Structure 1
């Protein structure tokens, strides 16, 4: 089981490059960045968990942060946790994914999802009622761009003829696609276009039950990971026993000192699990 870090890369906290170096120096396997292009000032969609923290509307662009992190490290895997594909043009996003994967030496993990903020989706021209179908088509279209010298895709929401788009990702056929979400149909999406399921660690009992369901339904190897697990060896042990391949812990936003303290607490929990 691998251990990673999640972070909202805000302009008023530790910067992505120095954070990535710190995380790599502390022996972590991966670093995942959250994404929100903006937060609508007026919305009716409730934030899951009370009042929304201000970090949600203060983040750097996802792929700029990933590039800075990749450039500052040599071993650390860098990833999106998650990329809101339904708010992005798939041709541009395919280019960004391939570029970061090439420039990082094949160290990108591509977490994808539809998100929860309906007003945010609408501002990007996405009908929330169609977001899952849009997500699927955009991922499928990106896969075609990454795989084919001359790519085409024809769907209800994505449609283009014969395009050339280079570079291709260094990882072939593409970086791992980690499907986020915990909704009732998420396993269908994982089976349709994912390499792994990476839900939030909100309901462990449900996560592990659905992980077993996913493995029973899958006709190919599909990993189960989670993001947001607490710095607690008891939770890590349960994840290990359930066969999760990666667990990711959110660090608080801020300067280097509070971030490093939280990272050390996470390392203590890992040491309790591993005996290190």
Structure 2
């Protein structure tokens, strides 16, 4: 059995390189980080877990920048998105970011994708929330 860490990386917590080093030193197999490009100031979409949206959603770092920092100080752990919101991303830029991370990490990149839940965030990217699943499949 393999164990990894899935988390949000923000400006208020441990830095990505320090976190990745600590994960690798402790024998974990992977680091997967969440993505939100932004959280709109005006939200209608309720937080899926109920209650107020945790502050970490507002403060997430770019996953590919954070994972590249993690790659620079580790040798073994897998580094990935858990998840990338591909319906909100340019597919060509995203492909280049994933391929670049795979090169700088010596083949340790893992690309986890999802469709997201925040309708306003999607709409700000020009994505129709009702067709996001088909868009991701495409």
**Does 2:87 align with 1:71?**
no
Q: Tell me how far apart the structure 2 counterparts of residues 76 and 36 of structure 1 sit (CA, whole Å).
A: 23
Please, which runs of 5 or more residues in structure 2 have no aligned partner? none
Name the counterpart of 1:97: 98
Name the counterpart of 1:17: 17
* Displacement after TM superposition at 1:112 (Å): 0.1
- TM-score of the superposed pair, with normalisation by structure 2: 0.97
* Displacement after TM superposition at 1:6 (Å): 1.0
Q: Tell me how far apart the structure 1 counterparts of residues 124 and 100 of structure 2 sit (CA, whole Å).
A: 27
Name the counterpart of 2:59: 58
> Which structure's relative contact order is higher, taking Cα pairs within 8 Å and 6+ residues apart?
2
Q: Tell me how far apart the structure 2 counterparts of residues 66 and 127 of structure 1 sit (CA, whole Å).
A: 28
Name the counterpart of 1:42: 42
SS of alignment partner, residue 81 of structure 2: strand
Number of matched residues? 137
Please, which runs of 5 or more residues in structure 1 have no aligned partner? 138-276
* Displacement after TM superposition at 1:136 (Å): 1.1
Q: Tell me how far apart the structure 2 counterparts of residues 119 and 134 of structure 1 sit (CA, whole Å).
A: 17
Q: Tell me how far apart the structure 2 counterparts of residues 89 and 62 of structure 1 sit (CA, whole Å).
A: 15
Q: Tell me how far apart the structure 1 counterparts of residues 111 and 4 of structure 2 sit (CA, whole Å).
A: 14
Residue deviations 1:56-114, cap 9 Å, x none? 01011110011001111000111100000001000000000000001100001110001
* Displacement after TM superposition at 1:43 (Å): 1.2
SS of alignment partner, residue 42 of structure 2: coil
* Displacement after TM superposition at 1:130 (Å): 0.9
SS of alignment partner, residue 2 of structure 1: coil
Name the counterpart of 2:136: 135
SS of alignment partner, residue 78 of structure 1: strand
Superposition pairs for residues 1-276 of structure 1, below 5 Å? 1-49=1-49, 50-137=51-138
* Displacement after TM superposition at 1:8 (Å): 0.6
* Displacement after TM superposition at 1:14 (Å): 0.5
SS of alignment partner, residue 42 of structure 1: coil
* Displacement after TM superposition at 1:48 (Å): 1.1
- TM-score of the superposed pair, with normalisation by structure 1: 0.49
Structure 1 stretches of 4+ with a deviation exceeding 4 A read: none
Name the counterpart of 1:140: none
| RMSD across aligned positions (CA) | 0.7
Q: Tell me how far apart the structure 2 counterparts of residues 80 and 61 of structure 1 sit (CA, whole Å).
A: 10
Q: Tell me how far apart the structure 2 counterparts of residues 19 and 85 of structure 1 sit (CA, whole Å).
A: 25
